[in-house]
């Protein structure tokens, strides 16, 4: 699920522009949080991002992590995903994809979608921003156990 190094550099360079375009300022905290998302693409919760971010930036605060994540979501560099009761998760993969979620062990993985929202019905007047598609069930390992 990792991208190649060149693509990651690209991602990081885009940060400044994208923040600007969205009316946000570039800050070291936002870079740090974005790096956390890019470095381990395992759909961390805000709290997991917080703990990882503290390794490189010990003074960063909880509220800032939320602020940074929200800024990244708003300027199109990350997505927020809602898979279960409790904490939201974050994902820097902006390709059209869906999330397979194991209800037993909590594992999440991305699967790129062949077609985009073309198959979806389009209610009159509704202005679509994005799709949030989760597939719940048991991952291969957990399915075998039962």
Sole binder of a second copy in the list 54, 80, 93, 96 (CB under 8 A): 80
Q: Which of DNA, a second copy, none interacts with 5 (beta carbon under 5 to 8 A by kind)? A: none
Shortest distance in whole angstroms from residue 69 CB to a second copy:
10
C-alpha angle 119-82-8 in degrees, rounded to nearest 5:
85
Binding mask 30-69 for a second copy (x = CB under 8 A): ----------------------------------------
Contacts 24+ apart (CB under 8 A), 79-83: 79/130, 79/132, 81/43, 81/108, 81/132, 81/134, 82/132, 82/134, 83/43, 83/108, 83/134
Shortest distance in whole angstroms from residue 102 CB to a second copy:
8
Task: With beta carbons less than 8 A apart as the criterion, state whether 116 and 65 touch.
Answer: no
Compare residues 25 and 144 and give the one whose CB is closer to a second copy.
Answer: 144
Sole binder of a second copy in the list 77, 83, 91, 108 (CB under 8 A): 83
Block residue for tokens 């993985």: 109
Could you tell me which stretch among 5-13, 15-23, 25-33, 100-108 binds a second copy (CB under 8 A)? 100-108
Residues that bind DNA (CB under 7 A): 24-30, 45-47, 57, 59-64, 66-68, 71, 85-88
CA distance 111 to 39: 19
Please tell me what DSSP assigns to residue 102: E
């Amino acid at each position: 699920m990792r991208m190649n190094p060149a693509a990651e550099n690209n991602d990081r360079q885009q940060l400044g522009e994208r923040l600007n375009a969205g009316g946000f300022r570039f800050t070291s905290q936002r870079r740090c949080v974005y790096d956390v998302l890019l470095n381990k693409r395992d759909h961390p919760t805000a709290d997991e991002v917080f703990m990882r971010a503290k390794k490189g930036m010990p003074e960063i605060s909880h509220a800032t992590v939320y602020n940074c994540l929200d800024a990244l979501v708003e300027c199109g560099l990350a997505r927020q995903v809602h898979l279960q009761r409790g904490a939201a998760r974050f994902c820097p993969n902006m390709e059209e994809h869906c999330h397979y979620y194991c209800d037993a062990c909590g594992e999440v993985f991305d699967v790129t979608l062949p077609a985009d929202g073309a198959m979806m019905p389009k209610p009159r007047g509704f202005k679509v921003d994005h799709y949030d598609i989760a597939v719940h069930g048991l991952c291969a390992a957990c399915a075998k156990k039962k």
